[in-house]
Amino acid sequence: MIAEELLRFISGCVSPFHVIQSVTELLNAHGFHPLSEADPWTLTPGESYYVTRNGTSVIAFRMPAGPWRGFLMSASHSDSPVFRLKENPETEKLGAYVCANVEKYGGMLLAPWFDRPLSVAGRVMVRSGSGAKAALVNIDRDLMVIPSLAIHANRTANDGASYNPQTDMQPLMGSELAKGKLRALIAETLKVRPEDILSSDLYLYLRQPGSVLGLDGEYVCAPRLDDLVCAYTTLRGLLASGNRTMLPVCCILDNEEVGSTTRQGADSSFLHDVLARVAADVHPDADALSRALSASFMVSADNAHAIHPNHPEKYDPDNACRMNGGIVIKFAANQKYATDAYSAAVFRTVCERAGVPCQTFANRADTPGGSTLGNISAGHVSVPTVDVGLPQLAMHSCWETAGVRDAEHMVKAMTAYFCSDYRGDGSSFALN
């Protein structure tokens, strides 16, 4: 069942570094070859490859056995809104407590983080020879909690609360005797000396495992569904794609939640750099990439807001979507969603062929809404782009809810997409 597979995948993805580790393990198991950006590439027709950057972004692709015209791409993101540990990660309070010292990463819903078992995972730079090397760490036990203030001390807590991340959200991790022990625990987990830890990128994560719920088991609930459900289902589509006249490319990119402007984000050279080298390997003439891009297409896959049962007034009544109703095509006049009539028509046709239902989403005209990867990646790799996603509730909570059947729909649709014989130029297309 896709829901169980998805939950297993998400449970290992406790930080963006662990997302890419899980993805590359899957790619390795399916015969993909790792490439380094630092080395020359020799690509063999019929073989499959992947490239990572920063250990938090990956681009995987399959070389067709014969001639190909362009790229059929997908983009999703590896990061989620979360608390990040500061470089000095401990604060002593009142001579009685040691708290973790954290700051927000991305547009978080803060309230769901209270009173939950939390732990720490990410990347640590460990001294090695004359330099240092990265090591992934996951403290695999319940380690800390962000305690609520009791109702007795805050009688208006249920009347609409606001939280200060510096004062209200610092997790408790021990008594005064715990001072200095977090760093020691990380070193012990990595089997290194604490003084050999030079720096770190560490994040909190919710320890509660995901679950399938609902009277008919129709919902999947888990941390980081935005956007790991799209990362996983687009990857499954790539892994299932067979004979091709187009070159399928699955991108899972970091830092979407903070604007994508990093060296590994959608607003970097990463995708363009990879595509240029793939195009040059096959057609060494100067305009090879431009010709390939003119025949290419991008599916930007990031979750959408399902209509909320208790707050329907927050949605456009005619462009709202519901969980288990199919893949959502997202539209916005300001082009924060890159969908236009052409790209929507392509994706609807893919879904029709795959027997998968589609829905639409547009924000209320008085609501600015969110943004995603599509219009950012299109600034670097300018191809027709559709923004799609799976409908979900509680976006940017640490515990989100989506539809089980929609994950199945996405795998089917992305498999059909990556296998399709797309012939299009931005004004007309055919899918064979």
Residues that bind Zn ion (CB under 5 A): 226-227, 302
At its nearest, how many Å lie between Zn ion and the CB of residue 7? 18
Nearer to Zn ion, 134 or 258 (CB): 258
At its nearest, how many Å lie between Zn ion and the CB of residue 237? 18
At its nearest, how many Å lie between Zn ion and the CB of residue 105? 13
Nearer to Zn ion, 98 or 301 (CB): 301
At its nearest, how many Å lie between Zn ion and the CB of residue 407? 15
Nearer to Zn ion, 128 or 334 (CB): 334
Nearer to Zn ion, 57 or 200 (CB): 57
Nearer to Zn ion, 226 or 254 (CB): 226
Nearer to Zn ion, 23 or 144 (CB): 23
At its nearest, how many Å lie between Zn ion and the CB of residue 303? 6
If 0-12 CB within 10 Å is exposed, 13-18 middle and 19+ buried, where does residue 36 land? exposed
Nearer to Zn ion, 302 or 387 (CB): 302
At its nearest, how many Å lie between Zn ion and the CB of residue 366? 23
Nearer to Zn ion, 201 or 254 (CB): 254
Nearer to Zn ion, 226 or 387 (CB): 226
d(CA 286, CA 265): 26
At its nearest, how many Å lie between Zn ion and the CB of residue 239? 22
At its nearest, how many Å lie between Zn ion and the CB of residue 77? 6
At its nearest, how many Å lie between Zn ion and the CB of residue 257? 7
3-state SS, the chain, equals CHHHHHHHHHHHCCCHHHHHHHHHHHHHHCCCEEECCCCCCCCCCCCEEEEEECCCEEEEEECCCCCCCCEEEEEEECCCCEEEEEEEEEEEECCCEEEEEEEEECCCCCHHHECCCEEEEEEEEEEECCEEEEEEEECCCCCEEECCCCCCCCCCHHHCCCCCCCCCCCCEEEEHHHCCHHHHHHHHHHCCCHHHEEEEEEEEEECCCCEEECCCCCEEEECCHHHHHHHHHHHHHHHHCCCCCCEEEEEEECCHHHCCCCCCCCCCCHHHHHHHHHHHHHCCCCCHHHHHHHCCEEEEECCEEECCCCCHHHCCCCCCECCCCCEEEEECCCCCCCCCHHHHHHHHHHHHHHCCCEEEEECCCCCCCCCCCHHHHCCCCCCCEEEEECEEECCCCCCEEEEHHHHHHHHHHHHHHHHCCEEECCCCEEEC
